[in-house]
Structure 1
Amino acid sequence: MKKFLLQDSSNTKWVNAQEARAKTNTMNAQIRLLDYPELSRKSRATMDIEAAEARIKNNKFTVSAMASFYRWLRRYLHSCR
């Protein structure tokens, strides 16, 4: 697919942006797994959200970090349905 898209030079920036986004998403996923191991269980229905909230309180995250986490958690739980 990449070779096909790169046949047209106008697609180069778009392909590079997609590769950068994929790399960033992978790094963010690894960081989330390190910070919130309780969210990496195979059984998504039994996630321990209270443990994640306690971890946030114990680590004294900033308000923006908490908001980012809750946005991610809502999207994640919605995608598991």
Structure 2
Amino acid sequence: MQVKFKGYKEKSKINISMVIPTGEQKTVITMEMPQGGDWRADMECYDKVLSAYEERLNKAMQIAQLQQPTEQSKLEQLVAE
């Protein structure tokens, strides 16, 4: 499953949306940026937060995959019942 992210700025807030393969979007992060007009600092912050979120999401997906029973063990459970 390929998840993509897109961001947009709205006044002093930066929003990050997750786009799943079906095209559905969900806002996962909203950050209020300090006033000051330093857009380079804002983009640096955005990049760091997005990287951290992607890393955390990847770890969660890996754990979920490890916890899913395999097809073989599902069949064995059905037979045992």
Q: Normalized against structure 1, the TM-score is what?
A: 0.35
**Higher-RCO chain (CA-CA 8 Å, sequence separation at least 6):** 2
Higher strand share: 2
Higher helix share: 1
Q: In terms of Rg, which structure is larger? A: 2
